[in-house]
Homo-oligomer: A and B are copies of this chain.
Amino acid sequence: MTRHSAVPPPVTAVLDASSAWLPARLGRVEEILREQGGGHGEALAADAATTLEAGGKRLRPMLVLLCAGEKGDEGAVRGAAAIELIHMATLVHDDVLDAAPLRRGRPTVAATSGRDRATATGDLLFSRAFALLAASRDGRSIELLSAASVALARGELAQRQDAYDIAVGEERYLERCRLKTAALFECACRLGRDEEALGAFGASIGLAFQLLDDVLDVSGPPERTGKARGTDLLDGTVTLPLILAAERDPAIREIELRSLDPAGAERLCDRIEAAGALREVRSRALEMVAEGKRRLAAAGLDPETRKLFDLVADGVVQRYS
């Protein structure tokens, strides 16, 4: 349950299909993100700047902008930048906790500058997100973003609390995914346009996104995910593939995760796959994406826009299927 070691590439497809307003606004988001990293009059924020420039697919900002639509204003652009700052902050803190050497093929802040500076860098990114929205007195956006941040932290705490507990149930796992991943996707959509149907779409594809990321951790291959199979298992993170496999293959329940070594983790991955758990999780994720698309119907989008949303949803699934 690492947060998307693997980022889906829906952005390109959506940008290709959209007219010029969307790329232009994503460009504005990048500008704002660059300003946040720098602009302190000193080299202090170098780590923050490096993190922001390292990129990623800017999936959450794109959801904000898409939901705001072509008539969206500068507030949507700021919201898009703010949610990416929060997302980046959590990645930097995650990498501190996991002592991760690489993210997106680049050294993490934790690796280059140490845990101390990485913790402070995460705090800085976090604070900048709220400062950005506060400057425009956008009360509802701050409410949405702070609620999502609370969810993120609670999800992180839940994950740490459940660590190594193979008996953790499916409900608990799903609640963790909602807190840790889906809440920020939902927030992204509502930052763009505060409507229940859009929020539900975001939550559904966010949940699917996390499930599929957890499938990738088991299925690999490492050349594609950039990390060894079973990395989550070695960290003690119990995800849905393992939970379902343990229900089907009682011997798995006897495995002591704490004493797992990398070879053991690979064997456990094979076993999870053999139990048919990956297929099952993939199929549930696809159902969540379909549900997300259905929920969109209530949002009254024009067909052109609807197509862009479908592309985003499909992009989440695409590389996993």
How distant is A36 from chain B, measured CB to nearest CB, in Å?
10
With known contacts A114-B160, A116-B160, A135–B128 Cβ distance under 8 A? no
Q: Which residues of B contact A205 (CB under 8 A)?
A: none
Is the beta-carbon distance between B119 and A96 smaller than 8 angstroms? yes
Q: How many copies of this chain? A: 2
Q: Which residues of B contact A134 (CB under 8 A)?
A: 139, 142-143, 145-147
Interface hits, A143-167 → B, CB 8 Å: 143, 145-147, 149-150, 152-154, 156-158, 160-161
Is the beta-carbon distance between B128 and A150 smaller than 8 angstroms? yes
With known contacts A119-B96, A119-B119, A124–B153 Cβ distance under 8 A? yes
Kindly state whether residue A127 has any CB partner on chain B within 8 Å.
yes
Kindly state whether residue A227 has any CB partner on chain B within 8 Å.
no
> Complex formed: what's the CA distance from A36 to B133 in Å?
23
Interface hits, A32-79 → B, CB 8 Å: 40, 44-45, 47
Kindly state whether residue A93 has any CB partner on chain B within 8 Å.
yes
With known contacts A137-B143, A139-B139, A123–B126 Cβ distance under 8 A? yes
Q: Which residues of B contact A96 (CB under 8 A)?
A: 119
Kindly state whether residue A120 has any CB partner on chain B within 8 Å.
yes
How distant is A120 from chain B, measured CB to nearest CB, in Å?
4
How distant is A98 from chain B, measured CB to nearest CB, in Å?
9
Residue of B nearest to A154 (CB): B44
With known contacts A158-B44, A161-B44, A127–B114 Cβ distance under 8 A? no
A44, A97, A145, A153 pick with most chain B CB within 10 angstroms? A153
> Of B119, B140, B146, which contacts A127 at CB under 8 A?
B146
With known contacts A97-B116, A137-B143, A160-B120, A45–B154 Cβ distance under 8 A? yes
> Of B40, B93, B115, B158, which contacts A97 at CB under 8 A?
B115
How distant is A57 from chain B, measured CB to nearest CB, in Å?
23
Is the beta-carbon distance between B131 and A147 smaller than 8 angstroms? yes
> Of B124, B146, B161, which contacts A157 at CB under 8 A?
B124
> Of B45, B119, B139, B158, which contacts A137 at CB under 8 A?
B139
How distant is A100 from chain B, measured CB to nearest CB, in Å?
13
> Complex formed: what's the CA distance from A123 to B87 in Å?
12
> Complex formed: what's the CA distance from A121 to B160 in Å?
11
> Of B115, B126, B139, B157, which contacts A44 at CB under 8 A?
B157
Kindly state whether residue A117 has any CB partner on chain B within 8 Å.
yes
Is the beta-carbon distance between B157 and A131 smaller than 8 angstroms? no
Is the beta-carbon distance between B150 and A131 smaller than 8 angstroms? yes
Kindly state whether residue A130 has any CB partner on chain B within 8 Å.
yes
23 A-B pairs with C-beta separation under 8 A: A44-B158, A45-B157, A116-B160, A117-B161, A119-B119, A120-B153, A120-B157, A122-B123, A123-B153, A123-B156, A124-B154, A124-B157, A126-B153, A127-B146, A128-B146, A128-B150, A130-B149, A133-B142, A134-B147, A137-B139, A137-B143, A139-B142, A142-B142
Known: A44-B154, A137-B139. 5 other contacts (CB 8 A): A40-B154, A119-B119, A130-B130, A130-B146, A134-B139
